Amino acid sequence: MSSDIFKLISKRRTVKPANFTEEEIPEAVLKEILESANWAPNHGRTEPWRFTVFSGKGRIKFQDLIEKIYNENPDVYPPEKLKKWQSNALLAPVIIAVGMKRTEACKIPLIEELCAVSAATQNILLTAEAHGVCSYWGSSISHLPGTAEALGLDGKDDCIIGFIHLGYAKDEVHDGVRKSSIDEKITWITE
């Protein structure tokens, strides 16, 4: 007997923007998706997650950002990648740039701040799923020099962890695949 949350977690799949319809995501749904991020666990109440949300014509600004950072970092990725990322930007009704802002003089280890932002991101994916909204976590230019600063994150260690593309799926979503079962990833110590 599976719990509702387990069913939701295991049903969520990455759906690429090429498989999104043009249907807009209602504002109330998007707000709840973002609000869910704010309830992620975090050490020391730092709440280090920050979001920039691109939609409508704002997506052209996202395309411009990708192009600017790509051009500032030549020879890292081939030009086909730039084209793909820019096309993804217009195929998704909403793109959320997920960032980590480290508190000044933060005593919490960097890895824990990143863990908190990852937890917030999973909340986004799952709340989207609960509303029938599909998601695609794309890295593209996230980790290139200049990206975090361009999105207003200019502190030491601040970073962008990825771009969450949201939209409704055109077709039925495929079943998930995992290379090995959870049993192979657990060590039980019982006595």
Ligand X SMILES: Cc1cc2nc3c(=O)[nH]c(=O)nc-3n(C[C@H](O)[C@H](O)[C@H](O)COP(=O)(O)O)c2cc1C
Q: Distance between CA 38 and CA 74 in Å, rounded?
A: 36
Q: Distance between CA 82 and CA 70 in Å, rounded?
A: 7
Kindly tell me which of 98 and 106 has the beta carbon lying closer to ligand X: 98
User: Least distance to ligand X from the beta carbon of 176, Å?
Assistant: 5
User: Least distance to ligand X from the beta carbon of 162, Å?
Assistant: 5
58 is in an annotated binding site: no
Of the candidates 41, 36, 160, 21, the one whose C-alpha atom is nearest the C-alpha of residue 92 is 21
Residues that bind ligand X (CB under 6 A): 13-14, 137-139, 162, 176
User: Least distance to ligand X from the beta carbon of 13, Å?
Assistant: 4
The pair phi, psi for residue 164, each rounded to 5°, is: -95, 115
174 is in an annotated binding site: no
> Helical H runs in 78-183?
79-91, 110-130, 147-150
10 is in an annotated binding site: no
Q: Who's near 187: CB < 8 A, 6+ residues apart?
A: none
User: Least distance to ligand X from the beta carbon of 43, Å?
Assistant: 20
138 is in an annotated binding site: yes
The pair phi, psi for residue 23, each rounded to 5°, is: -60, 135
Kindly tell me which of 25 and 141 has the beta carbon lying closer to ligand X: 141
44 is in an annotated binding site: no
Kindly tell me which of 30 and 125 has the beta carbon lying closer to ligand X: 125
Please report, in range form, the residues annotated as the binding site for FMN. 12-14, 43, 137-139
